[in-house]
Amino acid sequence: MDTHLDLQPAPPREDAQWPKGAAYLDGTFMPAAEARIPAGDWGYRRSDVTYDVVGVWDGCFFRLDDHIARFRASMTRLRMQPRESDAEIREILIETVRRSGLRSAYVSMDCLRGTPAPGAPRIPSSARPWLLCQALPWVWVASLEQQRKGVSLMIPEVRRIPAESFDPRVKNFHWGDLTDGLFEAEAAGADFPILLDGAGHVTEGPGFNVFCVVQGKVLSPRSGALEGITRRSVLELCEDLRLPFEVRDIPAEEFRGADEIFCATTAGGVWGARRIDGRALGNDAPGEITERLRTRFWRKRAEGWHATPVTA
């Protein structure tokens, strides 16, 4: 780990209104602790919901418009059209962060399907979709200590939900397979699972994309995973650093035998692995290419890369 990187989340502003979190719920701003989802809505009853998450670091959103565009694509795929436009969603997210006073935040946008009115047909098109947005204090998927040492990964028995059943490019709460994988990882003494698809190819981990390095080339799975915004950023960084990059199917055995493995997500940026299924990678620590990408990611963020400032 580059010791010159300062990755401590910035404290809230001194005049923070709701430093424990702010929410926008179907037209109204409120403290996040007061936001409630109706128990009868299909967003809860059927997990009929899509969402996206964008990060705020040192008072700036990262790739805000890219996240909103992906959120809109997910809503369109699920035939959800809330009353708010993309421009309005953008302002809502900014205002939510502004009201929270948070300078480092995990900012979510959810579109939930409601429930049909009495007497209406019990079909999805009868239920109104609505928005819940929240700005919460920053969280890491992998702790700073895990990032320093490198995480331990394993490939579980459970397989990823097939794309033929649900499109993984639509961000969703269908986490049954990922949750099973987390239990398998815990039982094996690993930090996180990396799930395979039905053909035995690598897909993703619970809440993050995954990459491996083979003979100096950075590889990322072709299908079966969310098309991550941070994943897109890694591709841009590879171009900056003149690192060869390929998106293709990655068989499990090639992944297990890789020179390096690393992960990428909104709530964590880029961080490396030290082990896969008990096998030490390199020196049992994140590899050189991983650390180059990680350092470049955070330094470019500090320089204002894809930044949208939140003004008071």
CATH number for 185:
3.20.10.10
C-alpha dist (Å) from residue 40 to 113, 127, 276:
10, 11, 42
How many domains are contained in the chain? Answer: 2
Q: What is the pLDDT of residue 5?
A: 81
- Considering the entire predicted model, what is its pTM? 0.95
Same domain, 131 and 61: yes
Q: Is the pLDDT of residue 118 over 50?
A: yes
pLDDT (tens digit per residue) in 14-65: 999 999 999 999 999 999 999 999 999 999 999 999 999 999 999 999 999 9
In this prediction, residue 2 has a pLDDT band, given cuts at 50, 70 and 90, of: very low
pLDDT (tens digit per residue) in 52-64: 999 999 999 999 9
Enter the tokens of residue 136. 């919460």
Please name every residue paired with 54 in a beta bridge, in sequence order, or none if there are none: 107
State the average pLDDT over residues 106-127: 96
Domain region containing 166 = 144-302
Same domain, 131 and 183: no
Same domain, 101 and 189: no
Q: Is the pLDDT of residue 263 over 50?
A: yes
Same domain, 190 and 51: no
pLDDT above 70 coverage of the chain, percent: 99
Q: What is the pLDDT of residue 4?
A: 63
Enter the tokens of residue 48. 């009929």
Nearest alpha-carbon partner for 130 in 23, 206, 238: 23
Q: Is the pLDDT of residue 1 over 60?
A: no
CATH number for 28:
3.30.470.10
Produce one character per residue of 65-82: b if its CB has 16 or more CB atoms within 10 Å, e if not: eebbebbbbbbeebebeb
7: in domain: no
Q: Which of 137, 167, 182 is the last residue of a domain?
A: 137
93: in domain: yes
C-alpha dist (Å) from residue 286 to 63, 163, 211, 224:
26, 31, 12, 25
- Computed over every residue of the chain, the mean pLDDT equals 96
Q: How far is CA 48 from the centre of its chain?
A: 19
89: in domain: yes
